[in-house]
């Protein structure tokens, strides 16, 4: 079985083909960063228009790379939500039109479930049940995963997502977008002892996160320095990353204790963070799983794979074009 995956939920067009026997046989990614960076954030209408330009040529290219034709494709998976409504509609319209033309089933995939499942695309995946931390540009959620598609939300950010905080702090420090990799790079040259930033919501019980106050703390620190030097920026980046990573470590530890589970899966863009992986790996009492670096941020591969797991159970949508810009994971169709 070969499944095409189409990702268009935000500012990346991803197209991949997952083969039941050979795994990923094509995996293409195009980022719109150059289009949006001069506006300081994603412009939804421009994102939709660019997905229109890119998706079909990328599908042709993916077929070529995989050495197959449309006749070899058994099913089409696309991101149906959560995300930007216009961008999602582009992927959904293309997926459903191709499904009708090629006479194959199509299925709308939950973007965050796909992020999570990307961490299971390994020879030795975690076995259910486990605790998952989805930590990306738009989400920071701790889940108890008892089976595929059975998720209980344990805690989430009450304001900014962790990735969003990385991006906003990077902007404050005059760094590029996306901010996560930039902060991680500069933090390596920072003096860890110079600043200690707060670990939000860790001194009272609970599994929710908040990164908005930490962001303000960074801003105040920057404003207190007269002429900000490169070393100041590196020191602040280091203290900020330490605070986010430590907060996540504390909350994940609590979630594992509360559920009595001993496996932790981290996924989404921020799970690419080297320090986060190292610190969590050093903790005792649980096994840590994370996706390959290329599968942490948005990609078509995770959509193709998430689709494959549902198609083999016989799931498929009608040809109606429906997307869900907001879509709680506990509302997913059971397997
Ligand atoms: N090495 C890193 N360290 C920290 N953050 C990172 C790193 N690499 C990427 N990120 C962050 O990950 C985010 C992008 O991840 P992802 O593509 O999963 O998010 P998204 O698709 O925008 O949001 P969502 O998946 O919630 O809809 C950005 O905020 C980026 O700064
Ligand atoms: Mg994403």
Residues with CB under 5 A from ligand 2 (ion): 136, 298
Q: Ligand 1 mean position to 203 CA, how many Å?
A: 26
Evaluate whether residue 230 is within a structural domain: yes
- Residue appearing with tokens 């089409």: 76
Q: Which ligand is nearest to the CA of 137?
A: 1
Is the residue at 325 inside a domain?
Answer: yes
Q: 49 — phi, psi (to 5°)?
A: -65, -35
Do 211 and 180 belong to one domain?
Answer: yes
Q: What is the 3-state secondary structure (H, E, C) of 125-140?
A: CCCCCEEEEEECCCCE
Which residue has tokens 């390959």? 292
Tell whether 211 is covered by a domain.
yes
- Is 122 contained in some domain? no
| C-alpha R_g of the chain | 20
Q: Are residues 104 and 172 in the same domain?
A: no
pLDDT at 189: 98
Q: Are residues 280 and 135 in the same domain?
A: yes
Ligand 1 centroid–CA 139 distance in Å is: 9
pLDDT at residue 296 in the model: 98
What per-residue confidence (pLDDT) applies to 334? Answer: 83
Cα(35)–Cα(26) distance, rounded to whole angstroms?
25
d(CA 249, CA 243): 10
**In terms of residue numbers, what domain contains 230?**
128-290
Ligand 2 centroid, distance to 268 Cα (angstroms) = 6
With contact defined as beta carbons under 8 Å apart, do 14 and 304 qualify? no
Q: Is residue 157, in this structure, part of any structural domain at all?
A: yes
Q: Is 14 in the pocket of ligand 1 (CB under 6 A)?
A: no
pLDDT tens digits, 260-290: 999 999 999 999 999 999 999 999 999 999 9
133 and 94 co-located in one domain: no
**Same domain? 43 vs 141:** no
Same domain, 196 and 257: yes
Assess whether the C-beta atom of 272 lies below 6 angstroms from ligand 1: yes
Give distance in angstroms: CA of 164 to centre of ligand 1.
Answer: 8
Give the helix ranges, DSSP H, for 4-76. Answer: 33-36, 44-66
Whether residues 281 and 316 fall in one domain: no
The per-residue pLDDT for 4 is: 98
State the pLDDT at residue 40.
76
Domain of residue 319, CATH code: 3.30.420.40
121 falls within a domain: no
Residue 307 falls within a domain, yes or no? yes
pLDDT the model gives residue 157? 98
The verdict on the CB of residue 178 being under 6 Å from ligand 1 is yes
Atom 19 (ligand 1): residue with closest C-alpha? 137
Whether residues 239 and 324 fall in one domain: no
Are 300 and 114 contacting, i.e. CB atoms less than 8 angstroms apart? no
301 & 321 share domain: yes
The reply to whether 135 falls in a domain is: yes
Distance 3 CA to ligand 1 centre (A): 25
Interval 294-328: pLDDT, tens: 999 999 999 999 999 999 999 999 999 999 999 99
Given a cut of 70, the residues of the chain with pLDDT beneath it are none
Tell me what pLDDT residue 38 has. 85
Burial environment of residue 204 by CB neighbours within 10 A (0 to 12, 13 to 18, 19 or more): exposed
Q: Whose CA is nearest to atom 9 of ligand 1?
A: 269
State whether 142 and 270 are in the same domain.
yes
- Is this model's pTM higher than 0.95 or not? yes
Do 167 and 139 fall within a single domain?
A: yes
State residue 248's pLDDT score. 98
User: Are the C-beta atoms of 28 and 315 separated by less than 8 Å?
Assistant: no
pLDDT of amino acid 263 = 98
| Count of domains forming the chain | 2
Say whether both 132 and 214 belong to one domain.
yes
How far is residue 298 from each of residues 9, 116, 176, 232, measured CA to CA in Å? Answer: 9, 11, 18, 31
Residue 208 has a pLDDT of 98
């Amino acid at each position: 079985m070969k499944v095409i995956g189409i990702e268009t939920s935000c500012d990346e067009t991803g197209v991949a083909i997952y083969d039941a026997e050979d795994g990923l046989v094509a995996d293409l990614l195009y980022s719109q960063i150059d289009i949006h960076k001069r506006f300081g954030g994603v412009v939804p209408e421009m994102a939709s228009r660019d997905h229109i330009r890119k998706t079909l040529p990328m599908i042709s290219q993916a077929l070529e790379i995989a050495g197959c034709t449309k006749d070899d494709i058994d099913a089409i998976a696309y991101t149906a939500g959560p995300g930007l409504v216009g961008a999602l509609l582009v992927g959904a319209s293309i997926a459903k039109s191709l499904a009708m033309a090629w006479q194959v089933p199509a299925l709308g995939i939950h973007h965050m479930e796909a992020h999570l499942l990307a961490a299971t695309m390994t020879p030795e995946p975690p076995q259910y049940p486990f605790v998952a931390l989805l930590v990306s540009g738009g989400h920071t959620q701790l889940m108890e995963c008892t089976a595929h598609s059975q998720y209980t939300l344990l805690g989430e950010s009450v304001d900014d997502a962790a990735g969003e905080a990385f991006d906003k702090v990077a902007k404050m420090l005059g760094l590029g977008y996306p901010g996560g990799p930039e902060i991680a790079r500069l933090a390596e040259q920072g003096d860890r002892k110079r600043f200690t930033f707060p670990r939000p919501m860790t001194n009272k019980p609970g599994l929710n996160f908040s990164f908005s106050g930490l962001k303000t703390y960074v801003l105040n620190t920057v404003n207190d320095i007269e002429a900000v030097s490169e070393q100041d920026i590196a020191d602040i980046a280091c203290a900020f990353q330490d605070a986010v990573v430590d907060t996540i470590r504390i909350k994940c530890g609590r979630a594992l204790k509360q559920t009595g589970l001993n496996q932790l899966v981290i996924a989404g863009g921020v799970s690419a963070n080297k320090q986060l992986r190292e610190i969590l790996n050093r903790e005792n009492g649980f096994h840590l799983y994370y996706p390959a670096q290329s599968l942490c941020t948005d990609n078509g591969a995770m959509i193709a794979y998430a689709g494959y797991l549902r198609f083999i159970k016989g799931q498929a949508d009608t040809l109606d074009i429906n997307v869900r810009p907001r879509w709680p994971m506990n509302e997913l169709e059971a397997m």
